[in-house]
Structure 1
């Protein structure tokens, strides 16, 4: 489960509206509780530097490192990432799944048409020999607090 404050949810929706028709993206900071609940405390917008920002997102690598430093300085953990689908559903696309790399982190996706928000955890997989294999997204409960 991920707990997302109302103010952060609204800020992400507003940014998605302003950024449309391109996808917006950013990092979510907060805490991971022992039973698996993630609590978002902050959101850090980032520039989308994807070659085609209308259909995919890529967080600017330099900004991402700076955000990670800010999170660490504030005593926060990387809870996950967010991005928008301006004209698509609030669920991971095939491209999202192919590019996901952060196991056990949340990927929050905002759709503008329809106006909706969803969250998924990326679960890494290993093959029989213990080598990395393709992972998968698992839908997680999103609670707006």
Structure 2
């Protein structure tokens, strides 16, 4: 029996704000954090309740994203103060596909969290879960459900 893929439920209004930010931020990547209800199960359904935009402080923001560690910690504290869990992260690929790059894989550090990627050319949104097995990790496609 095949299990269902995990799901990320995102309110349409939040998806639209992220798309708008991605368009305004190009040619650089934009990034942020999702707060809400997190379900780590293999076929789990995480639900985004809010998004926390972050500044991209990467040395090459046209092709990479990085959230300043101190700013990230402040955002984590803010969402936890609101009773939310860390659901995952989002960023844009202004000129790339809506799937994780080799750099995204090398930098992923949050097991079982969602990584939503917005592509602007063509306009498309993809969502992935980072899975760790032993010493290795990989992204697994997840269903994106608009609410």
Judge same fold: TM > 0.5, yes or no: yes
Number of aligned positions between the proteins: 139
Which runs of no fewer than 5 residues in structure 2 stay unpaired?
A: 1-6
Q: Which residue of 2 aligns with 1:51?
A: 59
Distance 1:48 1:32 in 2: 24
Q: Which residue of 1 aligns with 2:22?
A: 16
Distance 1:23 1:125 in 2: 29
Which deviations, in whole Å up to 9, do the C-alpha atoms of 1:14-70 show, x marking residues without a partner?
000000000000000000247610000000000101110000100111110110001
Q: Which residue of 1 aligns with 2:140?
A: 138
Distance 1:20 1:32 in 2: 30
* Counterpart check, 1:106 vs 2:108: no
Q: What aligned pairs does 1:66-145 form with structure 2 within 5 A after superposition?
A: 66-126=74-134, 133-145=135-147
Per the TM alignment, residue 140 of structure 1 is displaced from its structure 2 partner at its CA by 0.2
Per the TM alignment, residue 91 of structure 1 is displaced from its structure 2 partner at its CA by 0.3
Give 4+ residue runs of structure 1 displaced > 4 Å after superposition: none
Which runs of no fewer than 5 residues in structure 1 stay unpaired?
A: 127-132
Distance 1:36 1:98 in 2: 24
Q: Which residue of 2 aligns with 1:61?
A: 69
